Amino acid sequence: MKLNLFILHFNMKKFLLKTVVISFVILVLTTLVLLASSFFVKSKEFNNYTSESNLLFLQENYSYDVLFMGISHARNFSRHRNHLRVEKILDKRIINIGQGGGACGVNEQFFYLDYFLYKKNCVEKIIYVLSPPMLFSQTLPIASNTFDNEIFELSFLWRYLKFESENKKARIMSYLQTKFHHTWLLKKPGTLESKDNFLSSLDRKAVKKGQNLAYAGDDLYLNQFKKSTKIVEQTIKLAINANIEIILLIPPALFGKWRGHQETLNFMESMEQKYNLKIIDCSESVLDPILYYDSHHLNTKGVVYFTNKYLKPIIK
């Protein structure tokens, strides 16, 4: 009886040990490869205006004057070397954590800001570019490619594991798996060329198509809007607690107002009253097609014009 028990325990221990060792080796090897591939890509010296990634350049204990956040309309202030132009016009040091490409919604923008602060960075002002589709979209909160451009960082992963989010598992898996992909290893700093394409007129059909894409359909998802605005409010509180001034801004579009514009503006006004914030509705501020490369993204000339005319006064 005792011998049988001894054999059971001995064999069981051996089995469990073997299982644990193999699992551990797989885990360690995977982590090493993740770190190595990230280190390799990071060595190519990316910065805020040559990459859509935030972790590639985000450091610790840095201080900035202005932080942009939002979706592509925010990121556009850095793309195509616009970042340097905006910095020059505003005479401020800026950082842009906005994410385009339908990859990031308000929740993950909150997470990015939280991580920025966790890294003991500081900033004076935040310009939160509140594009209405960002608040209504049902696809942005579940996009799994949010962190595909980010390097592997254990602290980032650990913090995100503890963060509440929809579709978190798929997002994490995509974050990790893309680091093994050849497109990640071949990643190069983005173009420094200015975006000079422009429109000659407003194409209504293209606008409708674009809006449907941005809102993922014809409807306005008010439940999603409620969820999103709660998270934006949390973001505002996070900024206020960190002594950062936060400005809410509706970006310009060639067609003027997005669907859901009024709801967005009402929300912004409620935040203005509640937290004494600056808000600015720029939806109809730029209506010249020559300043856009598509119906809602400013080209380089447009970014320069908008920064001079609208951002400069509020930043000062």
Binding site for other proteins (CB under 8 A): 4, 8, 11-12, 14-15, 18-19, 22-23, 25-26, 29-30, 169-170, 173, 176-177, 180
The residue among 245, 218, 191, 292 whose CA lies nearest residue 64 is 245
In angstroms, give the least distance from the CB of 52 to other proteins: 23
Angle at 213 between CA 207 and CA 219, to 5 degrees: 95
Indicate the residue among 162 and 316 with the shorter CB distance to other proteins: 162
Q: What is the number of other CB atoms lying within 10 angstroms of the CB of residue 175?
A: 22
Q: Nearer to other proteins by C-beta: 18 or 274? A: 18
Min dist CB 180 to other proteins, Å, is: 5
Q: Give the nearest distance from C-beta 10 to other proteins in angstroms.
A: 9
Q: Taking the complex as a whole, how short is the minimal distance between the CB of residue 144 and other proteins, in angstroms?
A: 9
Q: CA 249, CA 237: separation in Å to the nearest integer?
A: 17
Q: Which is nearer to other proteins, 62 or 163 (CB)?
A: 163
Question: Each residue of 238-265: b (16+ CB within 10 Å) or e?
Answer: bbeebebebbbbbbbbbbeebbbbebbb
Q: Name which of 29 and 290 has its Cβ closer to other proteins.
A: 29
Nearer to other proteins, 15 or 118 (CB): 15
Task: Report CA 233 to chain centroid distance, whole Å.
Answer: 17
- Is the distance from CB of 117 to CB of 90 less than 8 angstroms? no
Cα–Cα distance, 14 to 42 (Å, whole number):
41
Strands 94-96 vs 63-70: parallel, antiparallel or unpaired: parallel
Sort strands 292-294 and 297-298 into parallel, antiparallel or unpaired. antiparallel
Q: Which is nearer to other proteins, 32 or 206 (CB)?
A: 32
As measured in angstroms, the least distance from the Cβ of 34 to other proteins is 10
Contacts of 37 (CB under 8 A, 6+ apart): 152, 179, 180, 184, 185
CB of 30 to other proteins, least distance (A): 6
